[in-house]
């Protein structure tokens, strides 16, 4: 296994499943672009609650970045051509929602400009 980072778009809807011990996990497929412009499929599985929830909140075509253990694989298409793919056990999932939330938190932590007791943006309630 290799530790790695993958960024791409979800291919299909992530699915929640239950293991033999009754513990839920999530599976998804991500289409990532390799350096040569070819697409590469990444089969993703997540066991921890945080990554599972993040994956299940996404829909087909959403952008996502994943960190975790990667195993290279090869599959054969309908024409008999060998194609590369990756299997990933996701430890962390980052989405556009996470980025927006982090930016808001950083902006809220900045001190207000002199003479302004509150930030210029309205508060979310």
Structure tokens given for 112: 């207000």
Give pLDDT tens digits for 14-65: 999 999 999 999 999 999 998 888 889 999 999 999 999 999 999 999 999 9
Q: What is the mean pLDDT of residues 118-123?
A: 59
Q: Is residue 119 part of a domain?
A: no
Enter the tokens of residue 53. Answer: 């929830």
* Structural domain includes residue 120: no
Instruction: Say if 97 falls within a structural domain.
Output: yes
Per-residue confidence band for 111, with pLDDT thresholds at 50, 70 and 90: low
Boundaries of domain holding 15:
2-109
Q: How far is CA 45 from CA 64, 87, 116, in A?
A: 14, 8, 48
- Least confident stretch, 4-13, 61-70, 85-94, 109-118: 109-118
19 in a structural domain: yes
Evaluate whether residue 28 is within a structural domain: yes
CB contact at 8 A, 8 and 90: no
What confidence tier does 118 reach under pLDDT thresholds 50, 70, 90? Answer: low
Specify the CATH number for the domain of residue 47. Answer: 2.40.50.140
Residue 121 lies in a domain: no
Q: Of residues 123 and 65, which shows the higher confidence score?
A: 65
Looking at the structure of the chain, the number of domains it has is 1
């Amino acid at each position: 296994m290799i530790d790695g980072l993958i960024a791409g778009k979800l291919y299909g809807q992530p699915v929640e499943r239950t293991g033999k011990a009754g513990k839920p996990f999530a599976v998804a497929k991500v289409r990532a672009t390799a350096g040569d412009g070819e697409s590469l499929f990444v089969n993703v599985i997540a066991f921890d609650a945080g990554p599972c929830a993040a994956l299940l909140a996404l829909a087909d075509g959403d952008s996502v970045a994943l960190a975790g253990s990667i195993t290279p694989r090869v599959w054969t298409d309908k024409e008999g051509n060998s194609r590369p793919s990756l299997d990933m056990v996701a430890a962390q999932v980052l989405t556009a929602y996470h980025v927006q939330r982090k930016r808001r938190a950083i902006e809220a932590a900045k001190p207000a400009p002199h003479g302004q007791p509150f930030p210029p943006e309205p508060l979310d309630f």
